Amino acid sequence: MSNGKISEIAKYMPKEIKQMLEGLPSHVLEDIEEVRLRQGKPVMLHGDGREYLMGKNGQPVFDIRNAYICTFDDIKSAVSLITNYSLYSYEDDIRNGFVTVEGGHRVGICGKAVLDKGSVRTFKDISFINYRIARQVIGAADRVLRSIMQTDGNIYNTLIISPPQCGKTTMLRDIVRQLSNGTPAMGFKGKKIGLVDERNEIAACSMGVPKNDVGIRTDVLDGCPKAEGILIMIRSMSPEIIATDEIGRSEDGAAILDAINAGVKIITTIHGSDIEDFLRKPSLEKLHNGLFERYIIMSSKNGVGTIEAILDENYKPVRGHLTREAGL
């Protein structure tokens, strides 16, 4: 499975690097979360808290002298592979700094920003590339599920707060899967879920069909801007829950407010490391006063996917959860 994920993303790597990557021992391959290319610098692999350099002979090494140095041509061919030889058709993605490739993997890119009237129009001289491998973890949400369910079979409006690379998308995906399928063990019937997947990361649709398991009652709106997508979802698919990833702009806040007022429950995520970070974001002011009833705060303290705390609408820890945490 994980080797499959690697080969999905290796398609988008330059020839030499792809060959070296595929030659790595399988225990290293399984753990890889990121492959980083920087022009004129060694190719780096990150995974499971470790860091390797890619050796010239295709083995993981630690000494920079034995490492493979990424060339200008490597970067150039990586960019054309990621963008399907057509930079222009990924303009919007590049402006945001990353492209989501088939399989839901994210490829971050960095270079010189070209400005137009003060805002970023595009990047040129791209010379930093970060391949991030997305893995679905079935059961990632097991420990939070009970805290976001109400006793009457409904769920709470939930916000997942987490820094990058701590597994928030993975968490959201599994919450969606479990709520959509229903969990008979907890007496919870499945809900109709509208998934607004702006960056095609959660469901990883290919030709309109989700490649990741997002449950049997989930409709996916793929590649649509969140604010607009939320409204379309409410109008078109009559969802009971709307799930979306990484809110941040003020129009996102307005759309979420609309959804909540329409009686739809919301599950979403935001970048940050604690509740204060969320409260400091002026663009989401509309959502600050108790609209969300549960806050799940994540970190990578004890590995990716650590649950720091679960807070209720008054930002107090949810008791049932804490006792279980203590027991662990």
**Site residues, another protein (CB under 8 A):** 11, 14-15, 76-77, 80-81, 83-89, 91, 94, 121-122, 124
- 18 vs 271, beta carbon nearer another protein: 18
Q: 300: closest CA among 166, 171, 172?
A: 166
Q: Cβ of residue 84: shortest distance to another protein, in angstroms?
A: 4
Question: Are 311 and 317 a contacting pair, CB within 8 Å?
Answer: yes
- 2 vs 84, beta carbon nearer another protein: 84
For the record, the structure tokens of 85 come out as 């030889």
Question: Are 31 and 46 a contacting pair, CB within 8 Å?
Answer: no
Going from the C-alpha of 161 to that of each of 24, 243, 269, the distances in angstroms are 35, 14, 6
Q: 130: closest CA among 35, 47, 16?
A: 35
Q: Cβ of residue 69: shortest distance to another protein, in angstroms?
A: 18
Euclidean distance between CA atoms 42 and 13, whole angstroms: 15
Q: Cβ of residue 87: shortest distance to another protein, in angstroms?
A: 6
Q: Cβ of residue 230: shortest distance to another protein, in angstroms?
A: 24
Q: 250: closest CA among 198, 286, 223, 199?
A: 286
Q: What is the largest CA-CA distance in the chain?
A: 62
- 207 vs 328, beta carbon nearer another protein: 207
- 14 vs 60, beta carbon nearer another protein: 14
Q: Cβ of residue 58: shortest distance to another protein, in angstroms?
A: 18
Q: Cβ of residue 146: shortest distance to another protein, in angstroms?
A: 45
Euclidean distance between CA atoms 6 and 1, whole angstroms: 9
Q: Cβ of residue 271: shortest distance to another protein, in angstroms?
A: 27
Q: 285: closest CA among 325, 242, 252?
A: 252
- 83 vs 169, beta carbon nearer another protein: 83
Euclidean distance between CA atoms 58 and 53, whole angstroms: 10
- 87 vs 307, beta carbon nearer another protein: 87
Q: Cβ of residue 11: shortest distance to another protein, in angstroms?
A: 6
- 88 vs 314, beta carbon nearer another protein: 88
- Tell me, what amino acid is at 46? H
For the record, the structure tokens of 24 come out as 């790595």
- 66 vs 80, beta carbon nearer another protein: 80
